[in-house]
Structure 1
Amino acid sequence: MLIDTHCHLDAREFDADRELVWQAALTQGVRAVVIPAVTQASFEPIMAWCVQHPQAGFALGWHPMYVSEAPEDALAQLEQTVARVLEGPQAHQLLAIGEIGLDFYLTREHEARQLELYEGQLRIARQFHLPVILHVRGAIDTILKYLRKHALTGGIAHAYNGSKQQAEIFASLGFKLGFGGAMTWPRALKLRQLAAELPVETLVLETDAPDIPPVWLGHQGRNAPDQLKKIAEEMALIRGLEALQLIEMTGKNSVEVLPKIAHLCT
């Protein structure tokens, strides 16, 4: 199963042709797509879109780069929304809490608030027995510190770019590692080595569309979920596998870590 475990299809870059982008993805064999929220303002639009697209699932959460916009009661509002959705007709489409985590790559200006929301959202995930979709840029050790503290049902470390040792720790905690367009660039030697050497049981595919375009789109290209098949083919080439074999393996991994996604793969 070809599954895009991380795609911001709600982004304004798709406002002009979102339906065409979606149909192109299905034509290329994408069986399911996960759309993670980044702020509370995106919750309702994402859920409304998914009502009309049964192969789309969503995650709800506050992205670390937007924590300055989060109200004081952001965690309480998230908890209430998750509880409401899980009691309603879209319960099967709420796959995880996300996109949550930490981002210390450029600045630690909002570090305290990032940590507060990150840990609070981990508690919500544990409360509702949901996996998490993690943003881990420049903060993997701190991310892992809090994951060890909270017993979760696992999740995905999106856009993984850590070490093999850190990957082993994520795997021991029930996490998969997301790989996408960044891996396709020839100069991304570390990422390509990770994609080649990490156990295939730990890997899932993602686009992060419209961001992180693969090499064939260029640095300024708009990424989209219809690129996932070519990304899978590149990973298969790196690993010395047949593309269909790689797609089935990573699809199985996606279902393992996000169990409800199996119901979307019609």
Structure 2
Amino acid sequence: MNLIDTHIHLDFNAYDDDREAVLQRAQQQGVRWYLNPGTDLGTSQAAIRLAEKYDGVFAGVAIHPNSTASWSPEILASVEQLAPHPKVVAIGEIGLDYYWDKSPKSVQQKAFEDQLALAARLEMPIIIHNREASEDVIAILRQWIPTLPASLKGRPGVFHSFSAPPEIADAALELGFYLGFTGPVTYKKADDLRAIAVRVPLDRMLVETDGPFLTPHPHRGERNEPAYVRLVAERLAALRHME
């Protein structure tokens, strides 16, 4: 079985000492492709460099909501300059994060809306980061969806590391989004998340690690890495009684 880790921060310094070995272990587990999103201009550029170095790595470029405190038209223009690279396949990760107090909500919302408009203009799918901001994220997306070109209708992007309530899953699916599942779906106390995962259509479900974070069982507490995306896929398959 060939796998894609649809969200992995290979550029983070957690992998600096053994990045080659990390990728080799992933290959041994059938992981063939990787999507490395950006979280600011520096990590977006680093994602592109990794994508240039490794055939199976692709990049997203964007400013993460926790990095938007100094948001400006100039920063948006810098993101746009990175986007045409042939191995950039998404605008992300973008969204809202009300858990951390690193950027005012109004600034996060402005950055989100500006990057959504950029994605529509460039006809590129988005990677959404949503933490304790579900209602505002859905409200903004409902305004954005009608502006999309035909090429993005029905596939506007993914809610990465989905962890919101069932009604948000329903709203996201109604808007055409994919839902990405990570290590927490393997955790003992994640019954609510597994209940959502069971009823998501297979053709709207993605697997990811979000490495180096959210390591799946039985490696929880260790650094996450793309080889472990197989554990997520296997847990989801077991929930659906699939081989």
Q: When the two structures are superposed, what TM-score results if normalisation uses the length of structure 2? A: 0.91
Aligned length: 234
| Partner Cα separation in structure 1 for residue 72 and residue 224 of structure 2 | 31
Matched, 1:114 2:108: yes
- Amino acid paired to 2:33: A
| Partner Cα separation in structure 1 for residue 89 and residue 81 of structure 2 | 16
Contact 1:195 1:239 in 2 (8 A): no
| Partner Cα separation in structure 1 for residue 119 and residue 23 of structure 2 | 28
Query: What is the CA distance between 1:69 and its match in structure 2?
Result: 5.1
- Which among 165, 171, 174 is matched to residue 172 of structure 1? 174
CA RMSD of aligned residues (A): 1.5
2:162 counterpart SS class: coil
Deviations 1:108-141 (A, max 9, x none): 8521111111000000000000000000111111
Question: Which residue of structure 1 lines up, in the alignment, with residue 18 of structure 2?
Answer: 17
* Bigger share in helix: 1
- Which among 125, 131, 137 is matched to residue 131 of structure 1? 125
Matches within 5 A, 1:32-111: 32-68=33-69, 70=71, 73-82=74-83, 86=84, 90-91=85-86, 93-107=87-101, 110-111=104-105
Question: Which residue of structure 1 lines up, in the alignment, with residue 201 of structure 2?
Answer: 199
Moved more, 63-72 or 7-16: 63-72
Change (3 A) 1:109 1:10: closer
Q: Which has the higher contact order (CA 8 A, sep 6+)?
A: 1
Query: What is the CA distance between 1:80 and its match in structure 2?
Result: 2.4
Structure 1: segments with no counterpart, 5+ residues: 243-266
Q: Moved runs in structure 1, 4+ residues, more than 3 A?
A: 69-72, 106-109
| Partner Cα separation in structure 2 for residue 189 and residue 108 of structure 1 | 30
- Amino acid paired to 2:194: R
Matched, 1:146 2:140: yes
| Partner Cα separation in structure 1 for residue 227 and residue 104 of structure 2 | 35
| Partner Cα separation in structure 2 for residue 45 and residue 159 of structure 1 | 22
Deviations 1:60-91 (A, max 9, x none): 00011111254562112212222xxx2xxx41
- Amino acid paired to 2:6: T
Deviations 1:232-252 (A, max 9, x none): 11111112111xxxxxxxxxx
Q: When the two structures are superposed, what TM-score results if normalisation uses the length of structure 1? A: 0.84
Contact 1:2 1:32 in 2 (8 A): yes
Percent identity (aligned): 33
